[in-house]
């Protein structure tokens, strides 16, 4: 799985990051809703750093259409949570 960002915009809850997500050989444009921003810190090298989390795709959008009954628990859902722990660094 790879993600290449194209743009980002602020929202009331964090950021919306638009880009191309490739999963299972299929590339689709997605918008990742980034939330849970950590406070900005300065690392030992003077770089400013901040962490965040983004998630949720529909697996069928990427060709993952198979389904299997799970013993007594139903079947796989289409909405899949992918948690990305992101650390961004910026110089002064």
pTM score, two decimals? 0.63
- Residue 87, strand partner residues: 51
Q: How far apart (Å, rounded) are the C-alpha atoms in residues 3 and 28?
A: 10
- The arithmetic mean of pLDDT across residues 1-7, rounded, is 88
Query: Domain coordinates of the chain in residue numbers?
Result: 2-90
Tell me how far the alpha carbon of residue 27 is from its chain's centroid.
14
The tokens for 1 are: 């799985």
Per residue in 7-62, pLDDT (tens digit) is 989 888 788 889 998 988 989 999 988 877 778 888 888 888 777 777 767 888 88
Q: Could you confirm whether domain 2-90 is CATH 2.40.128.110? A: yes
């Amino acid at each position: 799985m790879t993600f290449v960002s194209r743009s980002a915009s602020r929202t009331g809850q964090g950021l919306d990051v638009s880009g191309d997500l490739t999963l299972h050989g299929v590339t689709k444009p997605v918008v990742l809703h980034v939330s849970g921003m950590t406070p900005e810190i300065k690392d030992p090298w003077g770089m400013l750093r901040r962490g965040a989390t983004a998630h949720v795709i529909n697996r069928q959008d990427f060709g993952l259409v198979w389904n299997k009954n799970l013993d007594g628990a139903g079947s796989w859902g289409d909405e899949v949570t992918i948690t990305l722990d992101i650390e961004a660094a910026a110089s002064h």
